[in-house]
Structure formats: structure tokens, C-alpha cells
Structure 1
């Protein structure tokens, strides 16, 4: 590890903390439906959308209606994308004349982008036409991200309101987030990427002559616009197969740094927005403190392991850290930071191949996802997932002090605890169940590139990434098969919507309750003790649930490596 590497990491965290309140203020304005400076330009667009669709933005919905509209919206969008991908060969905007996708790959991809997972069982430049990238996929990058933020707003209202029957209007929330947050930021971000050298064109390819005099045909396309929302919306699906390791997606150290910032910036802002919504910004800072502690612990382990390198190679006389699978223009520190950022959020973009990380260095991205991706997490999904753990934490605190637990003025009773457990249990049930099935079935065992613990890690990582709606891969698993496309599609759907529905039920239950003023017997939820309890609950639940699977995969891989054995 180097001083320069740690400066990069600390500068990254410092800049994000500086942006937290400004971004949170903007998000809070959207949460409340207040006017922003952009309303003068985009207000007519918003009102026109409501008139055309017959939606009254002031007509609020109960949690059941909110959930139903959200589910129908996503099912229709998924079906639309499936049709676009299947019919790609006969649709316009296909200068490479690429064929339509197979049924199982179109099914997997449509679910992947609808759930904000962006798992890719295909190579982007060799599989997707420009139309499919822009219409089939980019539309989900905006709307799945907007859906996540809208759902977070609904849960915030559950905590903030008293004796209410509604949690907002799904259509108004999604529209405002898209128009006044994601779209303006992406326009500016796209222009920055174009100026940095990222292509933005409808041409399929360009021909160039190298310095050696060799003619090369390079794939291009509308890359910059998709790259912007890919990062801001924590989507992660790359235009190219190499994702953010490709110089046309991520050409410089500056674009690499900005991409990492854009993955986290909305998640940081949502913590402040939550504190403002419940009338105590210290609540938001407490949540963010717990998130940052977990994040820094993960970065430290990954950077330490990657900088230490492989002892087997050291024994052969190859000194230095582990540069396998990493871009020289980024190096070990920036690659390690990117890997932890993208898996702490539900982004899934990569600038290095996680399959080539050391065993423990690769375990941290895996463990980040197994914690439910609540260490910052996806836009919206991270904060509402974290609040589920907060409900469990106050329940544990209530058991210790012998009184009904309270959190931000709401009593947490049996219904909320049961629903939180139900939502959190989705991840281990799906991840471990589908990993076990694929580890014994012939179709599942045909996928991993490696055998032994590393091959098991490839399977475990795939289902963890899918259920956690992350989308990153260990890069050693052949997933474009009916077996993996089908099971990963089911895993992505369950990981997204089987968590959302119980969460919305909690929002509805909390909104109907009265506010309970704090008293001398209330457990404080803004100080260091509360932050420590949150961190402990998350680590204990994650550790107890997933430690056996980690022992079979990356931990066994690490022990083999220090004994001189390689997979």
C-alpha cells in the first residue's frame, strides 16, 4: 500500500461527504414535491406527461396501490424490452445487422435491466444493436433507478407521517426523480465524458491505422450517454464487454474517479434526505457513519490484499502487488477502490476483473453484496435496505432495555419486525439455495472456468450478484446458457421485488401510527453506540449466514494460495 493510494481513497470519501448535504437538499425538494430552479424549464414537460397519461400527481396512494402500480410498470417495461431484444434483427438502428437474442438470453437481459441489476450474459458490442442499447436498455437505466429512489421516498414518508393512510404517488415520484435529477445530471455528465474521449455516435464502427501500420476496426456507438446513467443510476451494464476497463468507456484517471463518485453520490445524499424528512438530520448522519465504517473496512482489506500480491508468484521471483486483470492506467489502488465501490453500491460496473483478484481481495466485493448491498447501496435500494436492518437493530435494543423499541418517533412492533425479517431473508434463501443447486447439477457445473474453491466462488458470486441486484461478475463463469440465464433471471426478480413489497408494507404500517415523543427511556439512535449497534447487527447477520459458503470458496482459496497451490 502507498501513501498516494490512501490519498486517493481519503480524497474520494472527503469529496463525497462535502456533496452529501447539497445533493440531499435537492432530493428532499423532490421528496416533498416542491419547485426547483429546473421547474421553469421542465415543469411544462412534467404537466404534459400527467395530462397525456391521465395521472393526478396530487392523488396519493396507499402502500398496496403504490406497490401494485410499481409492479405493473416494471412488468410492462420488462415485456417491452424482451420484445425489442427478440426482434432486434428486423428493427432499425442496427448497422451491424446483429440477430435477435435467444429466448433465454432476452429473458435474462430484460429482467436484469428492469431490476436495476444489469447482469450481462453477453458481450455488448457484439450482441446489442444501437437501438437495443438506447431503447431497450438505457430506458431501464433511468426508470429502474428512479423507481428505487421513489421507493425510498415512500419509506421515508412512512417514518415521517402520523396517522396517514398514504405513502405518496408512485407516478409522480418516478417522474420528478427522472426529470429533475437523473436527466439533467446525465446531460452534464455525458458532455464531460464526450470531452474526455468517450464516443457518442450512431456509427457502428470506425477504421483506424495503428502506429505499426495495421488496420483495425473499432466498435463505437452512443457510449457516453449510456455510461452516464449507468453510473449515476448504479446500473453498471457496460456498452462494451470489458465495461469500465474499456478505454472507450473509461479513458482516463479523471473519468475513473468521477465514475466512482457518481456511483455513490446519490446514495450519500439520500441519507441526509432521510434525516431531513424525519425532522432530525443527525439520524441521516448516523446511518451514513455506519455505512462509511463498513465501506472503509472493506477498502482496507481489498487494497491490503491486492497490494501484498500473490505469495506463489513472489516465491518464483515476481515481486510486487497483484496486477493481474487490472488496467495499468488505473493501478492497484484505484482498481481496489472501484471494486469495493461498485459492490458496496448495487452498480456492478467494473474496471478490473474480480476473478483475478486475490482470494481475500475478491471476497470483500462478494461479502459487500451478501450484506444486502446496504453499504451505501443502490440509488434508493441502499437506504431502504439499511432501514430494514435499523428496524432489527432497534428491536434488539428494545429487548436489552425491556421496552417497546422506537425509531425516529415510531414504535417498532411485531408486524414491522416480521416484515423486515421476511425481506432480509430473501437474500440468503435465494443465494445459498441456487448456489447449492448449481454446485451439484451437471448444467451448473458446466459453467465455472475453474475447479475447486475458486470455481465454487464463481457460482456463489454469480447468484450473490443477481439476488443483490448488483450485476458484476467474477468473469470466470459461462453464464449464457439456459440454466444460468433462467435461474439468474429468477434470482434477480426475487432479489428486487420480494424485498420491495414487504418494505412498502412496513412503510404503510408506520405511516398509520402516531408519533411517539422521545423520553428518558428511549434508546438514542444518533450517537456512537447506535452506529456501533448498526454495524454489529449487519456484520453478525451477514457473517452467521454466509460464513460457511465463504469458507468453502474464497477462504479455502486463500489457504490453498498460502500453501503454494493455485486454482
Structure 2
């Protein structure tokens, strides 16, 4: 059967499950974050204890700069703690004989996991102890996802609230509720499902076995199921084993593959319902969901079509492009996973993206370059598409000669400036990082531009570098796999891209939320641009595509497009 046709039942099942859980999960998250009087009376006992221990006044709302200061302070402390934990892991329990992580790798990894990127320039089995994995990396998988949810909710409050002080909530309360009421229960349920299908959960370091060639090999063990669940649910993506979700201990069956895809998409999709519920107009959320669905479906169709053909001698002989893909998933499961993970800033992989066809690899790369808003990461996807919706409303306002308004809030120079700055951060980091790397070449450990720059090897090498910086700047974390990134240049530059790509947009979004919250709501007039329905969905889709196309088309033409045309 044609792989594209074989993917039909899997896609239908994923969409069906998401449709079933869309309303209850979305409304549950809306109840977790509001309305305000309800929040003040529903603290769980463990939440109250945490607030007292940390000396947090959970009844105090914060302005946007207070909210941002709390977020940045927490993230900075997280980077420092995770860095120090890696540097001293050799003298801690459960080290498994592993030494301290080198300074460059420790810094890169700390920046990576705190920013929800989970870029891994190391081999987990031989670098990170089980204690570091559980106490450091797994904890960051929860709290970094919680930070994303908190920022998204703060922006929603900016549209909903009318406050002279521009208060947008309490960061510590939002973070605590995100972790304890959303991420922890769902990840526990997903971990149980994964365990039932054979995903391992062990504190042992490994076991030995005799291979088919007679040699004794050591097989790594780790507490996989617990970290695998939050790795996917929180759109983190870092594998506790080097092969990530292609490893049979992390993803043993087609059933676990579908469960992990559902976990990746669950919260970003349902957050559109949360948005519609909190602003009091659920059609607003459905419009955003429609735009996400069109973009996601279009790139999935391109990827499936590209991977279903047979290009090259090996693929033609085998009858399919199975090089770099797990037989137990095949092309349909691999393509579906790849589009889900690059569209949600997850970065987990169940196949080698470097082995995809030029067009298929270009499609998943473009998926990140759209800003990862289809449907995007936990929280980041929603606030990312809302920022683009503000840009789309501004463009529509220019066309009809009216002051742009979105959800009753006027979009003036300050709001549009903040939205534009948020959109421009990622492209600037991607293009600057890529251009410096390919210019310096071998002096920083990159050899892809040696020799004739027009050879397929050089073109593919450029694509690998472009993918790496797109992945880091979008806080995705996936990699093509053919690029060695262990040099100090890559460790430092990618870490900087992760940090700036995460926190600069967050600052602009929180400032935008504060600006919106300080405004009075205005009633719609006959000249107000409707922000629901097919017309606005088309305008928003066009805005997303045009922004990405105008920004990245020259770079794509030098990489995957040129490779596909050869």
C-alpha cells in the first residue's frame, strides 16, 4: 500500500482522539487559570504549603514587569542549578561511575532544558547520571513547560482584563498550577500507558547481553517512562537515551508511537479552547485552531508525499525510503511524528531527519520557520499565533483605513511594535547564526563548505547548519543528525540562540499583555474587522506564510530547495 494512504487511519485516529478531549481538557485549563475570584478560593493544600515555604503571596497580582522579573529570576536560578548539578554529578549518588559533565556541554544543556529546547550535544547514556536525569532534566521538563503556559495565560489576561495598573496575574501561582494541576496528572496517565506497552522504568544503569556476533554489550537502563511522558506532553523532546523516540526502550510499538504523538499535540491544540473560553468567545479559539490545522495538514501532506516516493538507488531497490526510519513505524508513523514534533517545538524524533528526502527535510525545516505555531509548543504556540494575529489585524486595519482592534483592545504603535519585535527575534537569530557559521567554516568545526559549494554534500551541509540554528532559536531541539556540534563555537552559539530565542519573545509578549491589560475595552463597530470565520482565518494564514516565506526563502533556496532540484 502507498505509505501516504497507509497514514490515513493513523491520522484519523489522532484527530479523532483530539476532537474527543478538546472540550474537557481545554475547559479544565481555563478553570485552572480563572476567573480571578474562583482562583482565590481553590488553592490545594500542597500549593498552600509551597507558597508558605517560598514566601510567596499568592493573592497579589503582578504588573508585566513584575511578572517578567519573577520569570527571568526563576529561569536564571534554574540554569545555575542545572549547570552545577552536572558539574558535580560524579560525587553524587546514582552517578553510575560517570564523571562531571564538561563546562561547555553543561552550559549548553542547562540553557537547553531551561528554555524548553532540549537540544542534546551529548550521548545521554554515557554523559548524564540517573540522578541528573531525574532531579535536573526531568524537573526542567515540567517547569519549562509551565513557564510557557504561564506566559500564554498572561497574554490572554491582557485581552480580558481592564486594569489601570496593567496587572496580568501572578507568575508563581500560574507556574505552580500549570505543573501540579495540568502537567503532572496528564504525564502520570501517559506514563502508565507507556509502561503497559513495554517502555522501561528503572534506576539501574544497565545490563549486559551477548549480541548475535558473540560480543558482550552493555545496554543502558534509566527511568524512561516517567521522563518520556513529560518529554512529549511538555513539548520538550530530549531523549533519556541517545536514539530518542526511535529507541525500543522509549518507543517500542506503533501504539506507543501514536500515544506519544497525541501527547505532543494535546495541550497546544486544547489551549485554543482555553483561549476561547477565557475571552468569552469560543469562535475565536476555533479560528486559531483552523489556521493551525491548515498549516499542519499542508506540511504533513508535503512530507508524506515526499517520503512516499523512491529517490535514489537504495530507495528504488528497497521500494521505499526506509533508510533512517524504524521498521516498526514505517514511513507513515515517521512522517506523522516528524511533522508533529517540528510543529510543536518538541524536538523528539523517531527517525533520522537527515535521512529524509530533500523535500521532506525541507518541509519539517519550514515547519519550524513558520514560528512553530501549528499548533506550537505548550503555551508558546498560542502566544505565538496570537502575536501573528495582532499583526494580521494591523494589516487588515490598514486595508480598510480603520484603527486596528482585537478582542476589544486597540492596537496602537506600542502594541504593534512589541508584536513585530517578538516576530523578528527568531529569524534574526537563525540567519545571523547560520551566516557566521558557514563563513567561518573549518575554524569553528564546520566542514560542510569545504570544496565546491555547489556539490550536493556542501548544499546538504548548509541545510544541516540552517536546521540547527532554526531548531535552537525556535526552542525545538531536533537535529538533522549529520552535523557535529561538539565544538566550543556550536556549544556557545546555540546556547545563546536558545536563551535569546526563548526569553526575548517572552519579554515582548509580557509587555504586550501589560499594555493591553491597561486599556479599556471598546465595543465593536461596523468598521471593526471580524476576527472569527474563514475571512480572518485566511488573512492570518497568509500572514504566517508570507512572513516566513519573505524571511527564509533565500536561505531555503540555498539549502533544501537547491538539493531537491538537483
Match in the other structure for 1:207? 208
Q: Which one is further off, 514-523 or 221-230?
A: 514-523
Matches within 5 A, 1:318-357: 318=317, 320-357=319-356
Q: Is the CA contact (8 Å cut-off) linking 1:443 and 1:483 kept in structure 2?
A: no
Q: Separation in 2 of the partners of 1:484 and 1:121?
A: 9
The alignment partner of 1:218 has SS state of strand
Spell out the pairing of 1:175-186 with structure 2 (5 A cutoff): 175-186=176-187
Q: Please show how residues 32-431 of structure 1 align to structure 2 within 5 Å.
A: 32=34, 43-95=44-96, 97-165=97-165, 166-208=167-209, 215-313=216-314, 318=317, 320-431=319-430
- Contact 2:437 2:446 survives alignment (8 Å): no
Partner Cα distance (1:34, 1:192) in 2: 35
Helix, strand or coil for the counterpart of 1:318? Answer: helix
Offset at 1:5?
1.3
Residues of 2 paired with 1:394 and 1:153: CA distance?
A: 20
Aligned to 1:11: 13
Cα deviation for residue 319 of structure 1 reads 5.2
1:345: how far off? 0.1
| Inter-partner Cα distance in structure 2 for 1:258 and 1:161 | 37
Q: Does 1:472 align with 2:488?
A: no
Q: How far did residue 211 of structure 1 move?
A: 7.5
The TM-score normalised by the length of structure 2 is 0.95
- SS in structure 1 opposite 2:208? strand
Please report how far the alpha carbon of residue 392 of structure 1 lies from its aligned counterpart in structure 2 after TM superposition: 0.3
SS of the aligned residue for 1:207 comes to strand
Distance (whole Å) between structure 1 residues aligned to residue 530 and residue 170 of structure 2: 32
Give the TM-score normalised by the residue count of structure 1.
0.95
2: distance between equivalents of 1:2 and 1:49?
Answer: 50
Q: How many residues are treated as equivalent by the alignment?
A: 555
Secondary structure of residue in 1 paired with 2:84: helix
Question: Which deviates more, 242-251 or 131-140?
Answer: 131-140
Q: Structure 2 vs 1, CA of residues 77 and 236 (structure 1 numbering), >3 Å: closer, same or farther?
A: same
What displacement does 1:472 show? Answer: 0.2
Any idea what the Cα deviations from partners look like across 1:11-62, whole Å, max 9, x if unmatched? 21232122211111111011116899xx99x811111001111111110000
**Partner SS for 2:232:** helix
Distance 2:77 2:214 in 1: 50
* Conserved 8 A contact 1:405-1:411: yes
Q: 1:443 to 1:197 in 2, by over 3 A?
A: farther
Sort the Cα spacing of 1:195 and 1:55 in 2 relative to 1 into closer, same or farther, 3 A.
Answer: same
Please name the residue that 1:564 is paired with: none
Residue 498 of structure 2 corresponds to residue 495 of structure 1: no
Paired with 1:269 and 1:163, the residues of 2 have a C-alpha distance of: 28
Secondary structure of 1:549's counterpart equals: helix
State the alpha-carbon separation in 1 of the partners of residues 500 and 213 from structure 2: 51
Following superposition, the deviation at residue 313 of structure 1 comes to: 4.5
CA contact (8 A) 2:206 2:221 kept: yes
Match of 2:549 in 1: 543
Cα distance between partner residues in 2 of 1:15 and 1:222: 27
3-state SS of the aligned residue for 2:482? coil
Task: Give 3-state SS (helix, strand or coil) of 2:559's partner.
Answer: helix
For residue 164 of structure 1, report the CA deviation from its aligned partner.
4.4
CA contact (8 A) 1:149 1:380 kept: yes
In 2, the alpha carbon distance for the partners of 1:35 and 1:188 equals 30
Cα offset, 1:193, TM superposition = 1.5
Partners of 1:445 and 1:111 in 2: how far apart?
A: 21
**Aligned with 1:206: secondary structure?**
strand
Distance 1:219 1:319 in 2: 32
**Structure 1 unmatched ranges of 5 or more:** 561-567
How far the C-alpha of 1:207 sits from its partner, in A, is 2.8
Kept in 1: contact 2:306–2:357 (CA 8 A): yes
Report Cα offsets for 1:490-543 as digits up to 9, x if no partner: 000010001100110000000011111112211111110100001100000100
Gaps of 5+ in 2: 450-455
Matched, 1:556 2:562: yes
2:452 aligned partner: none
Contact 1:447 1:477 in 2 (8 A): no
Deviation at 1:215, TM superposition (A): 4.5
Q: Does 1:530 align with 2:529?
A: no
- The question of whether the paired residues in 1 share the 8 Å contact of 2:4 and 2:304 is answered with no
Task: Return the alpha-carbon distance in structure 2 between the equivalents of residues 393 and 553 of structure 1.
Answer: 29
Q: Write the distance in 1 (CA, Å) between the matches of 2:347 and 2:33.
A: 27
Q: What residue in structure 1 maps to residue 525 of structure 2?
A: 519
The separation in 2 between residues aligned to 1:256 and 1:5, in whole angstroms, is: 13
Residues 173-201 of structure 1 deviation map (CA, whole Å, 9 limit, x = unaligned):
00011111111112222222222111111
Match of 1:509 among 493, 509, 515: 515
Q: Deviations over 1:428-485 (max 9, x none)?
A: 1110011000001133453659831100000000000000000000001111110100
| Aligned mates of 2:61, 2:36 — CA distance in 1 | 16
CA RMSD of aligned residues (A): 1.9
1:307 and 1:320 in contact (8 A); partners too: no
Whether the aligned pair in 2 keeps the contact of 1:448 and 1:478 (CA below 8 Å) is no
Q: Secondary structure at the match of 2:44?
A: helix
**Deviation (angstroms), 1:2:** 4.1
Comparing 361-370 with 436-445, which one deviates more in the overlay? 436-445
Q: Distance in 1 between matches of 2:504 and 2:123?
A: 29
Question: Relative to 1, partners in 2 of residues 1:164 and 1:17: Cα closer, same or farther, differing over 3 Å?
Answer: farther
Q: Would the alpha carbon gap of residues 250 and 33 (structure 1) be closer, same or farther in structure 2, given more than 3 Å must change?
A: farther
Secondary structure in 1 matching 2:317: coil
